[in-house]
Chains A and B, each alone.
Chain A
């Protein structure tokens, strides 16, 4: 690992900034990853257990005489599956707590005072109908209040199953019920995993993974879906719009504010505050031309989907953004915020502002966000950034890279776009029929979702970008969310010109529909949009999600959220290719279960393939196999 350029990114701006940061003597994620080598094999294989104070225990596999059981007697299968299940539970918890905050925000929106409002009435009424909420002779606020309360109950209701499970195809629900993994209440499933993985509780790896699957499903069809659906209700359902991406969106003569994190409750309020005439005037008084807001990671995805706010970069670019010297404030809430940011801001004037009690960082300024006074607090935060402009030190280096692309492809937007190719005399409008016809005729071979993070174990962005290019070349439509979306837009794959990378079939579809071949469907909780779309396609075709010629990939995943996403995708019947091996390799049994046997039970399975070109081949093989089984 003694390479001079450890940062292998396919993104020029990242490489430039990494080299610049090195010159400046700054430490970045790549340096820390390099310093960590070699990483602990026991942890890497999932064979280390610290669940009680008799431990830490480790299973030694490379020598014959090493311990083969933990002190309590737990085998490698038990330890590996428990560790995996806890990671899934943590991921589900993160998404679900996000969803809870959004439900809270809707509750505030339903009250008379407050800064939020119901912006998408149709979507609220659609959910109300889905949940059997009475709508006749009731005000929108009353309906919103009841929907919000019902959504909040989803987290801890004592009886029944999650309401959004009703969206899944019938066959899928039967599979879940028969296996006993239909999630009941979101928090309960997370708690149950924590309970069962406690010392001396569940030792059956299949049972442990089933429970993890249940928690994961409570994320995808629960926490994340609530987060997405209610965010749309409050902030509007995304529609296609043009935006820019990469570090080049920072502007030297403007007050640059980066919102980083996940929850749109904060970022939406910052969007409003950044347009406040008084604050813009204040910025001009400080000598700036105005206020330039940019987003990072998923909160960046949220505000670009709804407002076209430029996307500054993805997970691995957060430190580099500050190293430009042009960021006057980085405002963060929760999740995927590197604690190292507080170190790197010390070298600059940049203010790191934390806003959530759930995520404080030593060395950062904490300005507690409150949904009840959202815009007021957002203005305070923006003011802090504006007043910080004059403290800039004269060392600004903004790489010029910036790509154009189209974002905002919500499920609703996609349905509307599909109407462009329906014939008003021959077809119904507002259905997934055109998509189904394109797939059944073979014009489109299938669809794949590319999601997930960045990880130093994979060259930055290249897992996402290479895979996307390989798939669209073979007439496979790509949808993407999260940091995968950032990677794809930076690589130009969300521009209309990207049809040049496509096979004839996909190119034809893109030209007819006026869409790029890689569709930005939002943040990580917005993967629930993909579940909704797949469910409707499956239902239209009268089959299960597992029958569809589709696949998912997380080429550069790193977080526990990604593990929850992966498992709920598999549990929903989807073939999931991971670019990084999860910490399960210590148990051949668990590996075999998750990559093979589970398919017979749930219809989906994991595949580990670090080479994106080979991953594409495997996805193509899977999709063509599904087509054969469908006779199309």
Chain B
């Protein structure tokens, strides 16, 4: 299968899943069931930014599925592949929105799920000043907790904001990575679709700080590519859905670095099997240059530890 075919397959799978989830939600809550993420003025941010439309009910979600479907055009070209990637992002957002529509509290510790506008606003200044030099999205599963810890702490030590999706969360806990917003390591969720909650961080950054007008997809993608220094580390076996979500990241301008054997795409999809080099490879791929003086001390030293609370037993 060609790389583009894998993406199309993943996008179709995500769409099918979204259709099923919306149907289930409607059968539980009815078509007029309310749909909203907590503490945001941007409705479903990905949809809102891409189409300019706010979705408020499950019926709106159902109707939105046709937009997603229209983005999946199986022609062998980068343009169509990237559109399919965006379709996967939209499917993920629909699936996640249904979770919030049908469950009282879809996410619980340690997972954050949806990130509120207030948090994004608080991250804005350090992102602009370069105090947060980059945003790492680590998704999947490392071969062991040790490698997971090495990679995550590698970013944390350099002050990057790290989002975790999938089994890597458990591995991070096992590796004793200190987590939390103030420590700049945020576990999002175990389902692959929860990756959309970091996508909407980038998208809301464009709407809030970049003054991108909702519905102007071209400007949105330009802003995320040029101004949001994010990248993805996709670890462990890659399903078609993960690959197509990766295409969505690439559409936003975020390179994907993976430890798996895939067909590389220059600059955007890079294979790095050496975990020692994962951090360096990723920073170079996103052109993140960190002005640091490494102080040889036996503990991690970075702005990421500024909000750390030292408990009695520590």
Cβ A441 vs Cβ B265 within 8 A? yes
A121 within 8 A of B: no
Q: Which residues of A contact B4 (CB under 8 A)?
A: 442
Is A191 interfacial (CB 8 A cutoff)? Answer: no
B57-65, B75-83, B100-108, B178-186 - the one binding chain A:
B75-83
What A residues does B77 contact at CB under 8 A? Answer: 442, 445, 474-475, 503-505
> Cβ of B2 and Cβ of A437 under 8 Å apart?
no
**Secondary structure of the B contact surface, majority rule:** mixed
Q: Are B281 and A438 in contact (CB under 8 A)?
A: no
Q: Are B82 and A441 in contact (CB under 8 A)?
A: no
Which residues of the partner chain A approach B265 to less than 8 Å between Cβ atoms?
A: 437-438, 441, 443
Beyond A425-B284, A442-B2, whether A504 also contacts B79 by CB under 8 A is: yes
Q: Are A442 and B266 within 8 A (Cβ)?
A: no
In the complex the two chains form, what is the Cα distance from A442 to B4 in whole Å? 7
User: Within the assembled complex, what's the spacing in Å between the Cα atoms of A474 and B78?
Assistant: 10
Interfacial chain B residues near A509, Cβ < 8 Å: 266
State how many angstroms separate the Cβ of A616 from the closest Cβ of chain B.
15
A359 within 8 A of B: no
Cβ–Cβ < 8 Å partners of A443 in chain B: 78, 265-266
Residue of B nearest to A508 (CB): B78
1/0 per position for A482-511, CB-CB distance to B under 8 A?
Answer: 000000000000000000000111001100
Whether B145 is near chain A, meaning CB under 8 Å from some CB there, is no
Nearest residue, chain A, Cβ from B277: A425
The smallest beta-carbon distance between A391 and chain B, in angstroms, is 56
Q: Which residues of A have CB within 8 Å of B266?
A: 418, 421-422, 434, 437-438, 443, 509, 512
Residues of A within 8 A of B76 (CB): 442, 445, 624, 627
Q: Once the chains are docked, how many angstroms separate the CA of A504 from the CA of B85?
A: 14
Closest chain A residue to B78 by CB distance?
A505
The listed residue with most A CB atoms (<10 A of its CB), out of B78, B265, B280, B281, is: B78
B129 contacts A by Cβ under 8 Å:
no
Give per-residue flags for A433-459: 1 if the beta carbon is below 8 A from chain B beta carbons, else 0. Answer: 010011011110100000000000000
A174 interface residue, CB < 8 Å from B? no
Give the distance in Å from the alpha carbon of A440 to the alpha carbon of B267 in the complex: 14
Minimum CB distance partner of B82 in chain A: A504
Q: A437-B265, A437-B266 are in contact. Are A442 and B78 (CB under 8 A)?
A: yes
A137 contacts partner chain B, Cβ-Cβ < 8 Å: no
Q: B270 — which chain A residues lie within 8 A by C-beta?
A: 423, 426-427
Beta-carbon nearest neighbor of B267 in chain A:
A421
List of A residues within 8 angstroms of B115 by Cβ: none
Q: In the complex, what residues of A have CB within 8 A of residue B284's CB?
A: 423-425
In B211-267, which residues have CB < 8 Å from any A CB?
257, 263-267
A338 at interface by CB-CB < 8 Å = no
What's the least CB distance linking A424 to chain B, in Å?
A: 6
Flag if A425 contacts B267 (CB, 8 Å).
no
Question: Complex Cα distance A445/B79, Å?
Answer: 12
Q: In the bound complex, how far is the Cα of B247 from the Cα of A164, in angstroms?
A: 42
Interface assignment of B116: CB less than 8 Å from any CB of chain A: no
A426 near B263 (CB under 8 angstroms)?
Answer: no
> Do A512 and B267 touch across chains, with their CB atoms under 8 A apart?
yes
Interface bits A609-632 vs B (CB < 8 Å: 1, else 0): 000000000000000100100011
The CA of A632 and the CA of B3, in the complex, are separated in Å by 8
Q: For A424, A441, A508, A627, which residue has the most chain B Cβ atoms within 10 angstroms?
A: A441
CA distance A508 to B272 in the complex (A): 22
Taking the complex as formed, is B271 at the interface, i.e. its CB lies under 8 A from any CB of chain A?
A: yes
Q: Check: B36 CB closer than 8 A to any chain A CB.
A: no
Collect the chain A residues with CB atoms within 8 Å of residue B257's CB: 426
Other-chain residue from A425, A475, A505 in contact with B281 (beta carbon distance below 8 A): A425
> Within residues 1 to 15 of chain B, which ones have a CB less than 8 A from any CB in chain A?
2-4
Contact with A along B169-208 (1 / 0, CB 8 A): 0000000000000000000000000000000000000000
A445 vs B272: C-alpha distance in the bound complex, in angstroms?
25
Identify A632's interface contact among B2, B81, B264, B277, CB under 8 A.
B2
- Against A, the Cβ 8 Å flags (1 = close, 0 = not) of B77-103 are 111011000000000000000000000
Q: Provide the residues of chain A in CB contact with B164, threshold 8 Å.
A: none
- Output the nearest chain B residue to A443 by Cβ-Cβ distance: B78
Closest chain A residue to B80, Cβ basis: A504
Contact of B263 among A434, A440, A504, A512 (CB under 8 A): A440
Tell me whether B123 is interfacial, beta carbon within 8 Å. no
B269 at the interface (CB under 8 A from A): yes
A223 to B280, CA, bound (A): 47
Please tell me if B111 contacts chain A, counting CB pairs below 8 Å: no
Q: B71 near A: Cβ within 8 Å? A: no
Tell me the smallest distance from the CB of B210 to a CB of chain A, in Å.
20
- What is the chain A residue whose CB lies nearest that of B271? A426
What residue of chain A has the Cβ atom nearest to residue B272's Cβ?
A: A426
Is B303 interfacial (CB-CB < 8 Å)?
no
Q: What residues of A have a CB within 8 angstroms of the CB of B271 in the complex? A: 426
The reply to whether A425 and B280 form a contact with Cβ atoms under 8 Å apart is yes
Question: Are B280 and A441 closer than 8 Å at their CB atoms?
Answer: no
Interface string of B94-135 (1 = CB under 8 A from A): 000000000000000000000000000000000000000000
Task: Output the nearest chain A residue to B283 by Cβ-Cβ distance.
Answer: A425
Most buried by A among B77, B257, B277: B77
- Residues of B contacting A440 with CB < 8 Å? 3, 263
Q: Is the CB of A442 within 8 A of B81?
A: yes
- Chain A CB within 8 A of B285 CB: yes
- The digit string for B1-44, where 1 denotes a CB below 8 A from any CB of A, is 01110000000000000000000000000000000000000000
Q: With A423-B285, A442-B2 in contact, is A475–B272 under 8 Å at CB?
A: no
Q: Which residue of B lies closest to A442 (CB)?
A: B4
Chain A residues with CB under 8 Å of B264's CB are 437, 441
**Closest B residue to A437 using CB positions:** B264
Q: Are A503 and B277 in contact (CB under 8 A)?
A: no
Tell me the complex Cα distance, A512–B280, Å. 20
Contacts of A632 in B (CB 8 A): 2, 263
Inter-subunit contact B79/A423 (CB<8 Å): no
A119 to chain B, nearest CB (A): 31
Q: Which residues in window 280-294 of B have CB below 8 A to A?
A: 280-281, 284-285
CA–CA, A551 to B271, complex, Å? 30
User: Across the interface, do B79 and A503 meet the contact criterion of CB distance under 8 Å?
Assistant: yes
CA distance A352 to B126 in the complex (A): 69
Q: Is the CB of A504 within 8 A of B272?
A: no
- CB-CB < 8 A to A423: which residues of B? 270, 272, 281, 284-285
Contact A505 B79 (CB under 8 A): yes
Q: Which residues of B contact A421 (CB under 8 A)?
A: 266-267
Q: B263 to chain A: which residues have CB within 8 Å?
A: 437, 440-441, 632
Give CA–CA (A421, B266) in the complex, Å: 6
Q: Most chain-A Cβ atoms within 10 A of its Cβ — which of B2, B263, B284?
A: B2
Min CB distance A351 to B, Å, is 51
* Residue numbers in B under 8 Å from A474 (CB-CB): 77
The chain B residue sitting closest to A422, CB to CB, is: B266
CB of B199 to closest CB in A, whole Å: 20
A419 to B: closest C-beta gap in Å? 10
| Identity of the chain B residue whose Cβ is nearest the Cβ of A434 in the assembled complex | B266
Residue ID in chain A nearest B276 by CB atoms: A425
Bound CA–CA A503/B80 (angstroms): 10
Q: Which of A425, A438, A440, A504 has the most CB of B within 10 A?
A: A425
**Which one of A434, A442, A475 has the greatest number of beta carbons of chain B within 10 Å?**
A442
A-B contact pairs, 24 of them (CB 8 A): A421-B267, A423-B272, A423-B284, A423-B285, A425-B272, A425-B277, A425-B280, A426-B257, A437-B264, A438-B266, A440-B3, A441-B3, A441-B263, A443-B265, A445-B76, A474-B77, A475-B77, A475-B78, A503-B79, A504-B78, A504-B82, A508-B78, A632-B2, A632-B263
Across the A-B interface, give the 8 residue pairs with the lowest CB-CB distance, nearest first: A505-B78, A504-B79, A421-B266, A425-B281, A434-B266, A421-B267, A441-B265, A425-B277
The residues of B with any CB-CB pair to A shorter than 8 Å are 2-4, 76-79, 81-82, 257, 263-267, 269-272, 277, 280-281, 284-285
Given A442-B81, A627-B76, 18 more contacts at CB 8 Å?
A421-B266, A422-B266, A423-B272, A425-B277, A426-B257, A437-B264, A438-B265, A438-B266, A442-B77, A442-B78, A443-B78, A443-B265, A475-B78, A504-B77, A504-B78, A505-B78, A508-B78, A632-B2
